[in-house]
């Protein structure tokens, strides 16, 4: 296997661990932890919000860390944090204990997501960057599916066994792929300097992130407890979400090549708004398209935003990507806490949180349209 492919696959392992597992394997665990009495529904939502807060911390500091210790060492730290956080969550130490380690898992995700995509693209020839970027983000969808398939099996041994099993998977991915970490040129991790602001991308992607909090945290619980289908079928919803993510990553790169970044983001905000609207009817049949389309929207928007950042900023795309990702992380953290409070205040109404997500998605659609129409700086 060629070195460039192995480098891209190392990025796949990083996003699989930091996002696909460290963030999203929690979604099928959500109803199981509630059923086991580790947390109640509102507390489970709070743990998800703390993970989003950690993501903000991780993505905000990772470029400075990479300049200090190098990209490979920073990636090592992100993977180590994920393994440690999984293992620590295997002890039912109470809400504060679980909250701290879920926050660390979020820091891991922010570090790995903030570095893996731009760093792999920086060492990939221009004609192969679209494929390489799609392969890196494939790790998110692949990790979602892996977690959705593993969690029900691991839960046969209890919640603690599920957390320990995820720690083992993350450790294997780290040890196998770390020799192939990308080593980008110094310009890709340079200070911000004169990089363009990319205001339209930042705002639209931030509102997209806020609107995606309901499916990213409550999708399995909607099926498992909200529709009474149980933990196993709730995890099945997460498999559908992961399949949608993979399709979104693959199609998103081609969409940017065909339409350009601004138009692709606009199209994806339309798709995201459709996805959130599917959660509102109570008919069971809508759950299948809800899982697939919300996954397609969730990772597709990341793919087109990453490509749009490279399109807008060239060698300084890493700077833009951190700004874009930081805006996404801030919006998701704020929305995570707000929706956890809304979930509690509405007696755990899934309809309320998904309706709020739809409103945020429509706001993002309006910003994306304005950016496409008037080409903001």
Q: Which residue has the tokens 């993002």?
A: 364
From the centroid of its chain, how far is CA 180? 23
Helix count and strand count (H, E) for the chain:
13, 0
Which of 216-220, 256-260, 337-341 shows the lowest per-residue confidence on average (mean pLDDT)?
Answer: 256-260
d(CA 119, CA 190): 12
pLDDT reading at 189 higher than 70: no
Which pLDDT value is given to residue 377?
53
Cα angle 234, 240, 246 (rounded to 5 degrees) comes to: 140
End-to-end CA distance of the chain: 41
Burial (CB count <10 Å: 0-12, 13-18, 19+), residue 156 = exposed
pLDDT reading at 239 higher than 60: yes
pLDDT in tens, 51-70: 988 988 998 888 889 989 99
d(CA 312, CA 319): 11
Mean pLDDT of 106-116: 92
pLDDT in tens, 8-49: 899 999 999 999 999 889 988 988 899 899 999 889 889 988
pLDDT in tens, 133-183: 777 878 888 898 899 889 989 999 999 999 999 999 999 999 999 999 998
Q: 91: phi > 0 → left, psi -120 to 50 → alpha, else beta; which? A: beta
pLDDT in tens, 83-105: 999 999 999 999 999 999 999 99
Q: Which residue has the tokens 């999203």?
A: 24
Q: Which pLDDT band, with edges at 50, 70 and 90, does 4 fall under?
A: confident
d(CA 85, CA 308): 32
For the chain, helix, strand, coil in percent to 5 are 85, 0, 15
Q: Which pLDDT band, with edges at 50, 70 and 90, does 208 fall under?
A: very high
pLDDT in tens, 316-357: 666 677 788 788 888 988 998 899 899 999 998 999 999 999
Please report the sign of the dihedral spanned by the C-alpha atoms of residue 52, residue 56, residue 58, residue 63.
positive
Which pLDDT value is given to residue 244?
92
Write down the mean pLDDT value for the chain.
87
Please report the sign of the dihedral spanned by the C-alpha atoms of residue 99, residue 101, residue 102, residue 106.
positive
d(CA 211, CA 159): 29
């Amino acid at each position: 296997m060629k070195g460039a492919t192995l480098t891209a696959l190392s990025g796949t392992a990083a996003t699989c661990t930091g996002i696909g597992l460290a963030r999203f394997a929690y979604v099928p665990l959500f109803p199981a932890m509630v059923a086991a009495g580790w947390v109640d529904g509102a507390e489970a939502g709070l743990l998800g919000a703390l993970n989003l807060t950690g993501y903000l911390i991780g993505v905000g500091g990772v470029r400075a860390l990479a300049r200090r210790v190098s990209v490979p060492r920073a990636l090592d730290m992100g993977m180590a944090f994920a393994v440690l956080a999984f293992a620590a969550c295997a002890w039912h130490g109470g809400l504060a204990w679980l909250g701290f380690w879920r926050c660390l898992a979020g820091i891991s995700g922010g570090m790995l997501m903030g570095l893996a995509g731009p760093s792999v693209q920086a060492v990939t020839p221009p004609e192969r960057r679209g494929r390489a970027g799609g392969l890196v983000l494939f790790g998110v969808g692949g990790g979602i599916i892996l977690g959705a398939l593993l969690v029900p099996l691991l839960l046969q041994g209890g919640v603690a066994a599920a957390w320990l099993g995820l720690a083992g998977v993350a450790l294997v991915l780290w040890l196998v792929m770390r020799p192939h970490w990308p080593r980008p040129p110094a310009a890709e991790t340079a200070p911000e300097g004169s990089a363009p602001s990319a205001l339209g991308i930042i705002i639209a992607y931030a509102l997209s992130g806020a609107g995606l909090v309901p499916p990213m945290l409550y999708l399995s619980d909607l099926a498992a407890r909200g529709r009474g289908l149980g933990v196993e079928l709730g995890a099945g919803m997460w498999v559908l979400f992961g399949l949608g993510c993979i399709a979104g990553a693959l199609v998103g790169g081609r969409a940017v090549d065909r339409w350009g970044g601004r138009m692709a983001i606009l199209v994806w905000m339309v798709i995201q708004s459709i996805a959130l609207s599917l959660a509102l009817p109570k008919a069971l049949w809508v759950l299948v398209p809800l899982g697939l389309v919300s996954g397609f929207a969730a990772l597709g928007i990341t793919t087109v935003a990453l490509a749009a950042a490279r399109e807008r900023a060239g060698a300084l795309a890493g700077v833009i990507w951190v700004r874009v990702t930081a805006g996404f992380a801030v919006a998701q953290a704020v929305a995570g806490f707000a929706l956890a409070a809304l979930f509690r205040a509405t007696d755990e109404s899934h309809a309320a949180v998904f309706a709020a997500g739809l409103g945020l998605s429509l706001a993002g659609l309006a910003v994306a349209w304005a950016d496409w129409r008037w080409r903001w700086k």
